[in-house]
Amino acid sequence: MKHPLRDTAESQRRITRRGLILGGGQIGFMGLLALRMRYMQVEQADEFRLLAEENRISIRLITPARGRIFDRNGAVIAQNSPSYRINMVREQAGDVDNIIARLARLVELDADELERARRELRDLRGDTEVTIADRVSWEDISRVAVNAPALPGVTPEVGLSRHYPAGADYAHIVGYVGPVSDRDLENIDAPDQLLLIPRFQIGKIGVEAKLEDVLRGKAGTKRVEVNASGRVMRELDRQEGQAGADVQLTLDNELQSYVHARLAGESAAAVVIDCETGDLLACASTPGFDPNLFVRGISVADYKALLDNEFRPLPNKAVQGVYPPGSTFKMVTALAALEDGQLDAGDTVPCRGFIKVSNRRFHCWKRAGHGNVNLLRSLRESCDVFYYEMALRTGIEKISAMARRLGLGQVYDLPMTSVAKGLAPTKEWKEAAKGEEWVIGDSVNSAIGQGFVLASPLQLAVMIARISTGRSVMPRLVKSIDGIEQPLGTGEDMGLNPNNLQQVRNAMFEVSNNRRGTAYRSRIIEDAYRMAGKTGTSQVRNITAAERARGVTQNSDLPWERRDHALFVDFAPFDNPRVAVAVVVEHGGGGSVAAAPIARDITLQALYGEDPPLDAYPAADRDSIREQQEKLRRDRPASGTDENDRA
């Protein structure tokens, strides 16, 4: 049957419309697809290129060289030594256990270090470099480099490790570095990204810790290209960081080494101050410890040995240790009485061996007494009763005020750990600290440096520097930072009566140079270097009335920990003070026996800058001094440095 022509035409029109609609839709879709492709290829090209590059380019921090530390003459105290290590990045390694197993066939891996590395690989971000083996040999590094294709994500690296050439000599002052701990991070508000690098090391104690921000430096960055297996193909570019600043201390390497050696065998401390500038020339505490042990992480056995040592090698006794200053405090009491008008040069006080205060006897060290005593003789022979009387006349408030004026009872702003404040007690202090009223017996005890009075060897050295110069000398430890000189500690005039100061100095001169002086046996013979000093003995136990009645037990008959502390302070030369010295020997017994000879030897060493000639010593001591000098030269580490060890 034939369709009418009109029906055929209508069908063709319908087909044409459908074709046009379908074709238009296809053309529209293709247009949209083309526009999207253009947008992605042109408009978003940079973004996709960056994403692609991030898949093959790794940006890593470059650890800066830590600033070095030098002595006042440029000898190295802390330096950086090359150290080879092997690192791994987890996301580039893939099967971490498999890669570690391969690595173990090439390099001997420490079990504890490997366990720590596994924890870090598990807990830290996948793109973080983790040290698998530290301080490996060059041969180990070479084997890893040759086998790099089979060790994806593993990178041999040359870094820097801290080293302390002088060992124990500076351990308490400079301190040491160690890996950043969680506690370290908790104490920092906004940690530097460097601190988040596993096992990155920062200062833990001493100068290393206190000047951490100065010594650390600023990190650099490098971009490296890695292949699909995580192997580093090439370094694309590098932006160097900024090395830490070099720090020069005021300490003298030769003198510091000598002092440390001279104190060997004792639980002791000594401080030497330049009277003109306030520079700390030596600051030693014994026994010491090797700070290099802490850099990699000290063993449990080594650390336990330090903790169990009854001589306490870890604390810095020179600035942390506080002791009753004993008779070295008598200059404070004398100056307080002189300045207050309670004492004149000609005044005398009768000493019968004791004084009775509030129905209690306060004894002099000399049981029979000294007879009539003036200021000069009271210091020369260290009469206690004279100073009991000065305490009754002057009062504790003025004595403590003088103590603070002379440098006791205050914290010095030095880059060392736990610098002690000590104590110059007052009535208000006792009420607040003890909940008790001050009694007259407290003043009497304080007048001779016992009771509540406490001072560190550093503070005693400052006290003597101020007495010898009349200026408020301030101790200085940092000489310069990156070559920039730091402020001196010369100090202003204290405003004390010059005549009063000179009377005290003259009496101190008698202590060391008069036959009846308590330190006469430890005098300096060389006229140009004569010293003025003061012995001190501070009790660590109470002496009962019963013990006094039967005779006070000699220190040598007591256990070591119950013996008195021995102290000595001095300045020299007497006519032109250059150095002030303080020595404390824990449980050493008498100051004249244990501390004075050490202080005399240190003073001479500081003045001469080398082993002093034997004729500077009393004739009776010269043979023993010769033997001592020879022994100390043998025992002291070589202190000479080549040009590479100089600033």
Give catalytic residues, as residue numbers. Answer: 327
Nearest to 325 by CA among 534, 552, 596: 534
For residues 629, 630, 635 and 640, what is the CA-based torsion angle, rounded to 10 degrees?
Answer: 80
- Residues 267/587, Cβ–Cβ less than 8 Å: yes
Count other Cβ atoms within 10 Å, centred on residue 189: 4
- Which residues, in sequence order, are CB contacts of 375 under 8 Å at separation 6+? 334, 338, 343, 345, 347, 386, 503, 504, 507
- Residues 194/61, Cβ–Cβ less than 8 Å: yes
* Residue 484, beta-bridge partner list: 481
Q: What is the DSSP letter of 343?
A: -
Q: What is the DSSP string of 94-142?
A: SSHHHHHHHHHTTS---HHHHHHHHHHHHHS-TT-EEEEEEEE-HHHHH
Structure tokens at 259: 């002092």
- Only one residue has tokens 């010269």, namely 622
- Residues 294/178, Cβ–Cβ less than 8 Å: yes
Phi, psi of 48 (to 5 degrees): -70, -30
The maximal CA–CA distance of the chain, rounded, in angstroms, is 160
- Residues 85/135, Cβ–Cβ less than 8 Å: yes
Angle at 166 between CA 633 and CA 612, to 5 degrees: 30
Nearest to 471 by CA among 458, 498, 490, 457: 490
SS3 (DSSP) at 3: coil
| Omega of the bond leading into 287 within 30 degrees of 0 (cis) | yes
Indicate the pairing of strand 76-89 with strand 69-70: antiparallel
- Only one residue has tokens 């807990």, namely 123
The Cα–Cα gap between 219 and 245 comes to: 13
Q: Measured in Å, how far apart are the chain's first and last C-alpha atoms?
A: 115
- Cα-only R_g, the chain: 37
Structure tokens at 133: 């083996």
Distances (CA, A) of 345 to 54, 327, 454: 85, 19, 28
DSSP3 helix / strand / coil % (the chain, rounded to 5): 45, 20, 35
- Which residues, in sequence order, are CB contacts of 96 under 8 Å at separation 6+? 88, 90, 118, 121
Nearest to 540 by CA among 644, 607, 454, 479: 454
SS3 (DSSP) at 442: helix
The Cα–Cα gap between 6 and 402 comes to: 129
- Residues 585/602, Cβ–Cβ less than 8 Å: no
Q: What is the DSSP letter of 267?
A: S
Count other Cβ atoms within 10 Å, centred on residue 398: 18
